[in-house]
Chains A and B, each alone.
Chain A
Amino acid sequence: MEKLEVLATEQEFLDSMIDLDQYTPLVKGQSNYLEKEKYSCDPCDACGPASCSDCKGCALD
């Protein structure tokens, strides 16, 4: 399917979440924070551990 143009209201919605890549340099090299990919799997009480098959737990532990 062709990706439709994202409306301004949608962009505002998407911008309300922090860009996970923007801060990658801040993550790398920090002893208590592992791979940046972990941030894509938000720990979610709504869905529990099944939210992401690749979940390695909480990056912010």
Chain B
Amino acid sequence: MKYVDEYRDRKMANKVAAEIHRAVTRPWAIMEVCGGQTHSIVKYGIDYLLPKEVELVHGPGCPVCVTPLEMIDRAHAIARQPDVIFCSFGDMLRVPGSHGDLFQVKAAGADVRIVYTPLDCLRIAAANTSKKVVFFAIGFETTAPANAMAVWQARAQRIRNFSVLVSQVLVPPAIAGILEAPENRVQAFLGPGHVCAVMGYREYEPIAPRYRTPIVITGFEPIDLLEGTLMAVRQLEQGRTEVENQYGRAVTPDGNVDAQRMIRRVFEVCDRAWRGIGVIPKSGYRLNDEFRDFDAERMFELGSIHAPEPAICISGQVLRGLKKPHDCPAFGRECTPQNPLGATMVSAEGACAAYYNYGRHLVKVPSAAGIS
């Protein structure tokens, strides 16, 4: 496939890795923000190609992982109602709430459907006018234009039996939160390529100098991740703290302005709770007042839902780059993708699940540097 195969070329990967070996003189901790990047790094063993001085730490950019347990319980409570067709992206179905996952809710008789795009929900709603169709609208800025368009189209087409359970999160406040923590050890970021395809990277330009931290907007294929790492290492070695764009074939400085306009029409910024991290101010979207009729949380009386997390889970520290999966005593033992105890094990893009799925629970891997 064009724009995929050439970015997985082994010779080219070795070449870029060799350049990183030449460029590095001291230890650096670089965080890749996106879960998709974490997944690629572990799948292709990209960290094994790097010099020992360069440590990749895994960031909070997996929306499935950071969706709060309470929100998942809320989704299940809606899905269980008899007049509801509950629609979701496939990766949310396996995520356990306090009482089982959506597959189990479906097995117990609920109408739960996997959709490829939120627009599918509109067709389902039009074909099932006696039912309430609810879409679990999770994701980062990448997914927001699609979810916003579904709501916009529902209003335009006067589809009244459609609503969204919104759990949209934003990357820049999470990055700033990581950098502000006194215990932070991240020295540079590989920025979120597809988030920036939508949003551009202007928002990141004040962050890099303010926290003296280079940010390299980076793609998802092996060569992208290696080149992004090379650019970050060069900045660190030269003492520069800039925003650079490795992913120029998909990302422009201003991003997709039409998509941003649709996001602003439908959503407004709000505080959001992140699983494993807690509430981050102004770190998410909710529907604005104009579209409140499409808000599933208003449509369904759910009361207050509280869900305690297992105390042993260290996913909060993993999400902030303070610890690695191997630092957790439960990793690969009590906690596996079949029986996840916390955020970073619930999705294939979570650091713990990626390590487990590619057999890293079987090998001895050094823990987070400098952390005892």
- Do chains A and B interact in one complex? no
Q: What is A's interface to B at a CB cutoff of 8 Å?
A: none
